[in-house]
Amino acid sequence: MVDILIRNVKDETASRLKAKAKAKGVSVSDTALEIIEAAVKPNKAEVWAELDRLRARIGKVSGDATKDIREDRDNDEPYR
């Protein structure tokens, strides 16, 4: 993991962050991390673009997996 130092945070912003953390009963660091993670979370368009890229890389999948699923289900081995 990486530590990030944020410089020049306005007093009002820091106060609001502290108040938000206190209201939730968590640390300022945890609250800031939650906000940062929400900000960089991929949106739907980015997720769909990644899925399309993977589908293009994998190619068309064909066939019926029913036989394989039944064989695996009926196998007495605990793990393969």
Q: What range does the domain containing 47 cover? A: 11-74
CA 51 to chain centre: 15
Query: In total, how many domains does the chain have?
Result: 1
pTM of the predicted model, to two decimals?
0.61
Cα 9 to Cα 15, 20, 34, 50, 55, distances in angstroms: 10, 16, 17, 34, 43
**Does residue 53 form part of some domain?**
yes
**Does residue 36 form part of some domain?**
yes
* pLDDT score recorded for residue 76: 75
In the predicted structure, residue 69 carries a pLDDT above the cut 80:
yes
pLDDT 10s digits, 3-60 = 999 999 999 999 999 999 999 999 999 999 999 999 999 999 999 999 999 999 999 8
Please tell me which residue, 61 or 42, carries the higher pLDDT value.
42
**Does residue 6 form part of some domain?**
no
**Does residue 34 form part of some domain?**
yes
* pLDDT score recorded for residue 68: 86
